[in-house]
Structure 1
Amino acid sequence: MSADPARDLLIGVDVGTYSSKGVLTDLRGTVLRQVTRTHDIHVPQHGHVEQDADAVWWADAQQLIRTLLQGVDPARVAGVACSAIGPTVLPLDSHGRPLRPGILYGVDTRAQAQIDALNRELGEARLFAHSGMALTSQATGPKIRWLREHEPGVWARTHTLTTASSYLTYRLTGRHVMDHHTAAHCMPLYDPRTRQWSPAFSAAVLGDRDLSRLPDLAWSDERAGEVTPEAGALTGLRPGTPVAVGTVDALAEALSVGVRAPGDLMLMYGSTTFFVLVQAAATPDPRVWSVGGAFPGQVNLAAGMGTTGSLTRWMADEFARDLPTEQAYDALFAAARDLPPGAQGLLCLPYFSGERTPINDPQARGVIAGLTLSHTRAHLFRAALEGVAFGIRHNLEAFAALGADVRRVVAVGGGTKGRLWLQIVSDVTGETQHVPPVTVGASYGDAFLAGLAAGVLTRDDLTTWVGPGQPVTPNPAHRARYDQLYSLYRDLYQQTRPTVHALSDHP
């Protein structure tokens, strides 16, 4: 590794569902400064989940970068990279200005009618053969069609369709570019075999075969461009600073903990739970997502739950209003720790925003079964933690059923801060999880991508950035009880499915 000594710093920025984080590192991965900003989502109606691209995404990125650079010569910054929630849908006009708030990833379930229509018109088998994935709420193609059908005025003015991370890169460089991992979710517009946009089914989504609305395609570690004078004035970055293409937060998070070899699985404890498994060869399956990785030729198997960390946040907000937010979390985790496996007869389906993988059911709903007058908020909280753990086991079993090889599980994200949730997941799944010494998150992976794009790091340098993790091993004494509860968890979804579907029709 060699570099101009004057260019010895890297900046990574990640915009998440409820918060944005920035990190300043040196070229060896030492974290010199971290900054966090909180924000919220907007739910204008049931199933619609949005965020403002300028007031949230770009405003957060500007503020984080300015704060990171306080007292720092911007000429020392070798590169910058951004990640963000995704895949999202953001229409821009001919001047690059957002025409409406961004439509979020799989937690936004507005396009089920468009999914049904595309499957009916084009054929589920043909779509799966083309994309290697089934159409779900994670796919952006149906949401683009929803935009065309429901907001024709916006559609008529749409010049570019982009996503959150790509919008941040555009604001920094003036170039519209999207990474291959994100593009794979723009199905059925992307062909994973050619790694190009495809006109094969574009008319059904876009209304024509014109692909010019879509960004350029590149790998996450490639250079998208350089910081423009306008972006430099807004962020404090030196114009001309290299900017990486970037990616979705989950892939950047996987890089941040050294997940790069076949068999490495990242388990991300965030607002949602996300899985990224590096594979030697793709194993497409309708239950999960087969996508490109961060680097050329890399293949990932991905999956994601809908409501995990956001469920614990909801419980803290609604059931611990007597305590400040941080104290509420500490108190709930402490109280849940004193309860036995099974929360003394409670079982939770954590489908409070529908569910993504492996059931891919946007009409699924949260269920808490077994309530009695003796249960407290601590019991509810423990049941929620266990319900998420059962959902994680369900996804891991789907991976195993399609022959995916998981050799090492690396845990990352806000949910790793307390040992309890990690221990419950290991007890439920039977998997040992490794928690790296640095769990800054996606922004740390972004800083590494920035170094690659700037040419001051190589991919092998990741081994020096990420040290060995501390293992969380399963407690065999809890296995029998959790096996029994997991069976009931699977049954509970099937038994309550007709009821919650009927209720979801009348929110």
Structure 2
Amino acid sequence: MKRSQPLALGLDFGTESVRALLVDLRGREHGSAVASYRHGQITETLPGTGTRLPADFALQDPDDWLRSSGQAVRKALRQAGRANVISIGVDFTSCTMLPTLRNGTPLCQLAQFAGAKYAWPKLWKHHGAKGQTERINQLARRRKEKWLDRYGGIIGLEWFFPKVLETLDEAPDVYDAADVWLEAGDWYVWQLVGGDAQCLPRSTCQAGYKAMWNRVDGYPSSAFFKALHPKLAGVVREKMPGRLLSPGQAAGGLTPVLARRLGLPSGIPVSAAIIDAHAGVPGAGVAEPGTLVMVLGTSNCHMLNARAELPVPGVAGVVEGGILPDLFGYETGQAAVGDAFDWLRRTVGERSFADLTQRARALPPGAEGVLCMDWMNGCRTPLMDGSLRGAFTGLTLGCGPHHLYRALLEASAFGLRWIVELLQDSGVPVRRFVATGGLPHRNPLLVQIYADVLGKTIIVHPSKQGPALGAAILGVLAAGPKSSGFSSVAAAIRAMAGADGGAPASKPVSVQPDRSAHQVYNGLYTGYRQLAELLRTAQR
């Protein structure tokens, strides 16, 4: 019997669900399925216990990741028919993290910790560690820690070590019981490939962008951690075992146990994990430096590869090889985008975005005097302050929901422009803009406003699942050239997601800026920056 063509599996773990994507080595889709997490975002009570959660908590159930990925993969396999899956790539939200035993069992699955909120995985958007984040930043500045410059002089509320320190402060019994602290993406890949904790695969992407790791210096020193809290002195040595691998490196082969869950043969090569948004870079067909890839969704994450490492105020991280080999990957972001849009829709009582978008499109630039500050979930880049709050100004009795909505879209665009200017002013080239993710396809008005505010053309990549495609590409790299035929990272990206590929079938959409609108927005952008400074000062 003729062997079916090789397929790559990309698993894209989001905030509410996981997507399984099967593509061939030309990027053509053969199967795609989404499975929602049974518990979604755990923000009110712990499952099965009724334990109430504080307002800033956002947790998840690790069983949901295993259960939902099995459902999604099996459904995608049914669509693909006879499938010869040669590789698996995984992207995951970050920093979503958890404490486990040495055998990988999450602490929340132990009877004595089922009702302990700090034993559960903290979702990326968990904001319970505000005080711990400030302590880390203050200590790093006081000690003049050189790693702080790689993160624009400030680390973020959603990062790894603030969440570890939060647990140590608030639930020392949970901290003591944890043999291993790790990112959820690393935990999932560990479940796929098995093995002892000492050899568990940790991604340099997650470590570099969310845990202050550097290829030359490693993590912050034990002296720094000891000064932060005496019990943290040995946290890296004692509670963070494993080997650091770059995305696209092989973490191991699929174990028989997980093979049965996914409906696949065992032994399939599995790549080290990558942050979901960062997977959007290869998934958007981008292999060259100087292109800002904007993964637009619940939040926005912007990635840019460059040939040199330069300090940028408020950047979320600069990691050598963090996105693609031999390049310095810069990450910036906006904390609330799709989330903020949906919050507004619900707040004004709209069932869908259709009417809201139509009426907002009819308004002129500037929303007839309404200006918004889009800090509905704090400010990521450039201020790295999760405590900041948003605002609307210029409201009158004549304003409707569509004024608020357009002002919010424009605020998101102004925030993006601020980020681009920071990069350019710091000497980092930004020559081209590519948008990917689901939001650019669902909300063309947003992309047009982005182009108008920037005064630049934006390319919308035709794939609606760029991170999943990027994860699949990285899985193929882990399988090696003998299985894939690709001699380089760039060749794989071009073949599976770029101009050389046979898919996606539709072509990229080029969104051109409206020059007259751009001139109007130049003045409004100045007002946005002034409002930002006013609110930042008032909220100190």
CA distance in structure 1 between the partners assigned to 2:140 and 2:399 by the alignment:
50
Match of 2:30 among 29, 32, 40: 32
Q: Distance in 2 between matches of 1:196 and 1:156?
A: 21
The aligned counterpart of 1:50 is 59
For 2:170, the aligned partner's letter is H
The match for 1:41 is 41
Determine helix, strand or coil for the equivalent of 1:434. strand
The counterpart of 1:291, out of the listed 309, 319, 337, is: 319
Residue 437 (structure 1) aligned to one of 437, 462, 475: 462
Residue in structure 2 matching 1:18, options 16, 24, 27? 16
Partners in 1 of 2:146 and 2:123 — Cα distance?
A: 23
- Compared CA separation, residues 102 and 431, structure 1 to 2 (3 A): farther
* Distance change (3 Å), C-alpha of 1:75 and 1:211: farther
CA deviation map 1:192-232 (0-9, x unaligned)? 42457854534336622252422321010011111111111
Cα shift at 1:423: 0.6
| 1:108–1:124 CA distance, 2 compared to 1 (3 A) | farther
Give distance in 2, aligned partners of 1:483 and 1:306. 23
Equivalent position of 2:97 in the other structure: 89
1:319 corresponds to which of 348, 352, 359: 348
Aligned with residue 79 of structure 1, among 83, 87, 90: 87
Secondary structure of 2:289's counterpart equals coil
Specify the code of the residue in structure 2 equivalent to 1:414. G
Instruction: Provide the secondary structure at the position in 1 that maps to 2:23.
Output: strand
Contact 1:50 1:102 in 2 (8 A): yes
Which of 223, 243, 267 is the matching residue for 1:240?
A: 267
Query: Contact between 2:130 and 2:387, CA under 8 Å: does it hold in 1?
Result: no
Is 1:183–2:192 an aligned residue pair?
Answer: no
1:63 aligns with 2:71: yes
Equivalent residues in 2 for 1:479-494, closer than 5 Å:
479-494=518-533
Alpha-carbon separation, structure 2, partners of 1:426 and 1:45: 39
In the alignment, structure 1 residue 473 sits paired with structure 2 residue 512: yes
Q: Could you tell me which runs of 5 or more consecutive residues in structure 1 were left unpaired when the two chains were aligned.
A: 502-507
Give the residue type in structure 2 aligned to 1:51: Q
Structure 2 counterpart of 1:438, one-letter code: S
What is the SS of the residue equivalent to 2:366? Answer: coil
Quote how far apart the aligned CAs of 1:128 are. 3.9
**SS of residue matched to 1:398:** helix
CA distance in 1: counterparts of 2:142 and 2:310, whole angstroms:
18
CA–CA distance in structure 2, aligned partners of residues 200 and 192 of structure 1: 19
**Fraction of identical pairs, as percent:** 28
1:332 aligns with 2:356: yes
What is the SS of the residue equivalent to 1:94? coil
Residues 271 and 307, structure 1, Cα contact 8 Å, conserved in 2: yes
Q: Is 2:171 aligned against 1:155?
A: no
The range that moved more, 61-70 or 170-179, is 170-179
The answer to whether the aligner puts 1:103 opposite 2:114 as a matched pair is: no
Closer, same or farther in 2 for the Cα pair 1:466/1:73, shift >3 Å?
A: closer
1:173 aligned onto 2:201: no
> Please, what TM-score do these two structures have when normalized by structure 2?
0.85
**1:330-357 deviations in Å (ceiling 9; x for gaps):** 2322221111111111111111111111
Of the three residues 128, 133, 145, the one matched with 1:115 is: 133
Taking only aligned residues, the RMSD between alpha carbons, in angstroms, comes to 2.2
Asked if 1:213 is matched to 2:222, the reply is no
Tell me the equivalent position of 2:255: 228
Q: Which amino acid aligns with 2:168?
A: R
Structure 1 residue identity aligned to 2:476: G
Q: Is the 8 A contact 2:22 2:80 kept in 1?
A: no
Q: 1:60-89 deviations in whole A, cap 9, x for unaligned?
A: 222211211226577611011111100222
Within-5 A mapping of 1:375-414: 375-414=399-438
Contact between 2:319 and 2:330, CA under 8 Å: does it hold in 1? yes
Q: Give the letter aligned to residue 104 of structure 1.
A: L
Report the alpha carbon displacement of residue 319 of structure 1 after superposing the two structures with TM.
2.3
Tell me how far apart the structure 2 counterparts of residues 316 and 410 of structure 1 sit (CA, whole Å).
27
Task: Report Cα offsets for 1:277-298 as digits up to 9, x if no partner.
Answer: 0010111334102123234433
**What is the rounded CA distance, in whole Å, between the counterparts of 1:216 and 1:153 in structure 2?**
27
What is the aligned partner in structure 2 of residue 201 from structure 1? Answer: 224
CA distance in 1, matches of 2:126, 2:403: 29
Give the drift of 1:267.
1.0
Rate the CA distance shift 1:234–1:416 in 2: closer, same or farther, 3 A.
same
Residue segments in structure 2 that go unaligned for 5+ positions in a row: 44-52, 108-118, 500-507
Q: Which amino acid aligns with 2:333?
A: G
Q: Is the 8 A contact 1:18 1:271 kept in 2?
A: no
Q: Partner of 1:24: helix, strand, or coil?
A: strand
Secondary structure of residue in 2 paired with 1:185 = helix
Conservation of the 8 A alpha-carbon contact between 2:101 and 2:177: yes
SS at match of 1:48: coil
Structure 2 CA distance for aligned equivalents of residues 247 and 361 of structure 1: 24
Residue 477 of structure 2, aligned match among 436, 452, 455: 452
State the Cα distance separating 1:123 from its structure 2 match: 3.2
Alignment of 1:253-264 (within 5 A): 253-264=280-291
State how far apart, in whole Å, the 1-side matches of 2:245 and 2:77 are: 28
Residue 138 of structure 1 contacts residue 356 of structure 1 at CA under 8 Å; is this kept in 2?
A: no
Give the TM-score, by structure 1 length: 0.91
Tell me the secondary structure at the aligned position of residue 135 of structure 1.
Answer: coil
Cα distance change on mapping 1:59 and 1:331 into 2, 3 Å: farther
